[in-house]
Amino acid sequence: MKKSKLALAGVAALSVVTLAACSNGSSSSSQPTTAVKMPQSYSGSGKIDQNGTIKAAEVNDAPFKGLTDEALISNAEDSDVFGPGLQGLFNTDKNYNYKDGGPANIKLSRAAKTLTITLRSNLKWSDGSPVTAKDVEYAYEVLGNKDSTSQQFSANLEKIKGMTAYHQGKSSTISGIEMPNGEKGKKVVIHYTAVNPSMTHSGNGFVWEYAEPYEHIKNVPIKKLASSSEERKTPLFYGPYKLKKVVEGESTSWVRNPYYWGKKANAKAVTINVVSTSAAASAFKSHKYDFTVGIQGIANSQYPNVKKLSDYTNVGTPQLGYGYLGFMVGHMDSKTGSNVMDKSSKVANKSLRQAMAYAMNTDAVEKKFGNGLGKRATTLIPSGFSQYHDKSAKGYPLNIKKANKLLDDAGYKKKGKWRQTPDGKKLVLHFAAMKSGTTHEQTIQNYLQQWHKIGLDVQLTGGKTMEMNAFYDAIQAPKPPKNVDFFEAAWSTGTEPTPTMYTADAPFNMGHFVSKENTDLINNINNQKAFKDSYRKTQFNKWQEYMNQQAAYVPESETLTWTPVNHRVKNFTYSPAHNNTAWAEYGVTSSNPK
Amino acid sequence: MWKTVLRRVLIMIPEVIVLSVLVFLLAKAMPGDPFTGSIGPHTSAAQIHQLKVQAGLYNPWYQQYWNWVVHLFHGNLGTSFQYQEPVTRIIGERAINTVWLALFTMVLTYAIAIPMGLYAGRHQNHIGDNIIRVYTFVTMAIPPFVILLIALWIFGYVLGWAPTTGSVSATASGTMGTVLSRLQHIILPGLVASLTGTVNIVQYLRSEVIDAKHSDYVRTARSKGVPTTNVFRHHILRNSLLPIAAFAGYSITGLLGGSVVTEMIFSYPGMGLLFLNSISYRDYTVITALVLLYGLLNLLGTLLSDIILTAVDPRVRVQ
């Protein structure tokens, strides 16, 4: 037993040493790219078999939960397996801006501070009943009800007039939601206390993008909706497929929704099975599935096993998220609910943070351990947002020389092996990182090694990577624990990139970085001038540059969402311009995966 | 005998109470809560706080425990935070899957292990015994998850003889179709689990038989001219099976335990995976319900084993 442990440690150490040997101490690349290039779509060839069945895999080690309603779902796997029926109300363009032509259109009025949602006249639930204004309105009731079990209710929704009173139980209706043509009508007008440019982007949090089948669930108390049979056994959808059968936690099967508003779905049926991460690569090797659904597909570590599969093409797109390092530069004042900077923080010195970022070997790490599917992130706006990501940003490429100079200039002099604080005290930095796969352990060891190289005594919090709950307990504490000076985490932005996580009162600004300039820049991104897109883009760029320069949060890595797509599939795409209607467009040309 | 059973059952009551307090406290002592990590671009800290208030997570532990006990006596084990469903319903669904698989595995395990163990013991050092010993050593040396993955790959993916995921096909319809599909789905995981599960029983039984062969009562029987087959059937077999019988109670109650590794590899939603995930997600209501259930089953298993042992071994008489 002891021997095997030593052997494992040896392998890990060897990998790190080899990696370090590959690096030359500096990197010239300014715009990193993933080593692996994948197309965003696979259009396929041949004639679609209208009687075909799409066989998709949901790669996950846990059974899905069986919630069919986006308002109540709090995990990705339920959204994935019920995807063929769950369609958003609004189509988008390639930059996630709302676009007419979907199940509903949406129009913003700056003058009236309203959003008007107009449903298609032929939009129907899978039982043939029409989708009405009440169905749109009721979704807000489900979200905002004081007894609701939904985790989706947000501060943005409270910008709807009357929502706070409804949420607190002081009112039985939401006064700011109007149905001009009555409950059975097709129009909903939502009145806001203020409107901003993010409201024209999908995923903004001010607009709920799904409807609830009011007539179907009106007799179920909202509190009990999640466990009701209406929600779990007989749900209604207005997407291209209707649910035929759900095997709890394992699979869903679908048939064409005869009442679908658009062109009928290209496949006769769809089945989605949960496949374990350990078996996913084998499943595709034996041609069991056409593609994976959702963001989390086959693990990147399994990519070498499926990269050259015959009859499959790997399709991918940048994930709308990134890994980052967060420095504990302050704390959250629990009384005011605002973050406050601490001058006494061990990582309060900007040069120290910048030096640590320059010492990181992220390019090589991503190439080596990410199997070419990841890349170094250069800003806190992911490159997937081509409209707002600053392509000129360099981020923090490896530069040991610069890192040493920054520390020397800031007064962090070496005494023996390690550097001391500018006032001559011992400096030990504690790094909190979450336990993940083997390659992540190696990545963390590599970072430690790099920081040691510039003379910084960095140690893992508790001496090892942390279990998820313990990790979040530590970094979400209003006052950071003494043994956490900085941490590594990941952030998913959603489809609207306003950096809400970094505002002064954001609870997930876990490093507690606050500055007037940061607040101003974030506000500028969504002020009234920002309705002009060039202005908004400039503000996004300024914010990215400012945050990079402050290095309180250092962008670390980005990766791809990807899947092998079988060659019998037609019209597969990750394009945001087709996301909402993608399931209707997918088709297959033969009865089984090739 | 019945007095003893009754006494044992009565003793179980304080044991279960202590167990439930311990389980409840330990679950609460773990870092995090069911909402830890619920972070998204629009997640509202106030909403998460409200959900925690609704769930009573800020109440003192003794108040939470008391509420839980009161609900328990009303047959309500609470609602899962993760699944947003009553815990009894979730456990019920998973228990069915687990019992199907575990029962199949157990029957197969004993059906394979007992003849193998007896044969190996009876024909010690013969070629058959050597083959069985090699089989047991090899199976013991390879971690079960490796065997499961190899079996899944060969029989599931390469040969396509068995389903590779889940407990029933998404397209199975009708009672008969569903039952057949369920059987199909448990064959491969059940077979592999039973092949790895036989090892201990085979080795145990083999050494018991070898020991028994050299015991005085067997020598006496042989010297009296009892045929070898009868010696094995009437003298050795019964005595050799005693240790196996002693574990039978645990095996029966262990049917609900589930197997995390098998369930994960075959994406088979059973009790093992439910328990593991409920711990990871701090789904307190499910954790406490399952630990209590397992505790109860263990206590029952002990009792059952004692009863079985008493029944098969006249020397053991419980007072």
3-state secondary structure B129-166: HHHHHHHHHHHHHCCHHHHHHHHHHHHHHHCCCCCCCC
Whether B238 maps to a domain, the answer reads yes
Q: What is the DSSP letter of A205?
A: S
State the Cα–Cα distance between residues A305 and A311, nearest whole angstrom: 14
Q: Which of A160-174, B21-35, B299-313 comes out lowest in average pLDDT?
A: B299-313
Say whether A423 sits in a helix, a strand or coil.
Answer: coil
Whether B119 maps to a domain, the answer reads yes
Note whether A154 contacts B42, CB cutoff 8 Å: yes
Task: Give the tokens for residue B140.
Answer: 């013991």
Whether B302 maps to a domain, the answer reads no
**CB burial of residue A260 (10 Å; 0-12, 13-18, 19+):** buried
Rounded to 5 degrees, φ, ψ at A129 are: -80, 150
Q: What is the pLDDT of residues B222-280, one digit of tens each?
A: 898 888 888 888 888 878 888 777 777 777 777 777 788 888 888 899 999 899 989 88
- The whole-number pLDDT of residue B72 equals 84
Mutate: best of A227, A268, A332, partner B, most B CBs <10 A? A227
Note whether A271 contacts B171, CB cutoff 8 Å: yes
From chain A, the residues in CB contact with B48 under 8 A are 151
**Is the confidence at residue A28, as pLDDT, over 50?**
no
Nearest to A65 among B37, B83, B273 (CB): B83
Note whether A469 contacts B273, CB cutoff 8 Å: no
- The whole-number pLDDT of residue A591 equals 82
Whether B51 maps to a domain, the answer reads no
Residue B230's domain spans which residues? 91-275
Mutate: best of B42, B79, B153, B192, partner A, most A CBs <10 A? B42
Task: Go through A382-397 and write b for each residue having 16 or more CB atoms within 10 A of its CB, e for each that does not.
Answer: bbbbebbbbeebebbb
Note whether B40 contacts A492, CB cutoff 8 Å: yes
Q: Which has the higher per-residue pLDDT, B249 or A498?
A: A498
Mutate: best of B28, B35, B43, B260, partner A, most A CBs <10 A? B43
Mean pLDDT of A352-373: 92
Q: What is the DSSP letter of A1?
A: -
Using alpha carbons only, give the angle A569, A574, A575 rounded to the nearest 5 degrees.
Answer: 120
Whether B151 maps to a domain, the answer reads yes
Nearest to B51 among A151, A248, A507 (CB): A151
CATH number at residue B188: 1.10.3720.10
Whether B173 maps to a domain, the answer reads yes
Task: Assign A263 a pLDDT band (cuts: 50, 70, 90).
Answer: very high
Chain A touched by B29 (CB under 8 Å): no
From chain A, the residues in CB contact with B153 under 8 A are 282
From chain A, the residues in CB contact with B192 under 8 A are none
**Cβ count within 10 A of residue A137:** 22
Number of structural domains found in chain B? 1
Chain A touched by B269 (CB under 8 Å): yes
- The whole-number pLDDT of residue A321 equals 93
Q: What is the pLDDT of residues A60-103, one digit of tens each?
A: 988 999 999 999 998 889 999 999 999 999 999 999 999 999 99
**Is the confidence at residue B159, as pLDDT, over 70?**
yes
Whether B222 maps to a domain, the answer reads yes
Q: How would you classify the pairing of strands A486-492 and A428-432?
A: parallel
**Cβ count within 10 A of residue A130:** 17
Whether B102 maps to a domain, the answer reads yes
Say whether A62 sits in a helix, a strand or coil.
Answer: coil
Is the entire prediction scored with pTM above 0.90? Answer: no
**Is the confidence at residue A145, as pLDDT, over 60?**
yes
Note whether B43 contacts A274, CB cutoff 8 Å: no
From chain B, the residues in CB contact with A279 under 8 A are 149, 152, 164-165, 265-267
- The whole-number pLDDT of residue A3 equals 33
Report ipTM for this prediction.
0.81
Nearest to A500 among B41, B82, B84 (CB): B41
Evaluate the CA torsion angle B95, B100, B101, B107 in order and state its sign. Answer: positive
B 68-97: CB under 8 A from A: 79, 82-86, 89, 93
Per 3-state DSSP, chain A is made up of helix, strand and coil in percentages (nearest 5) of: 30, 20, 50
Chain A touched by B47 (CB under 8 Å): yes
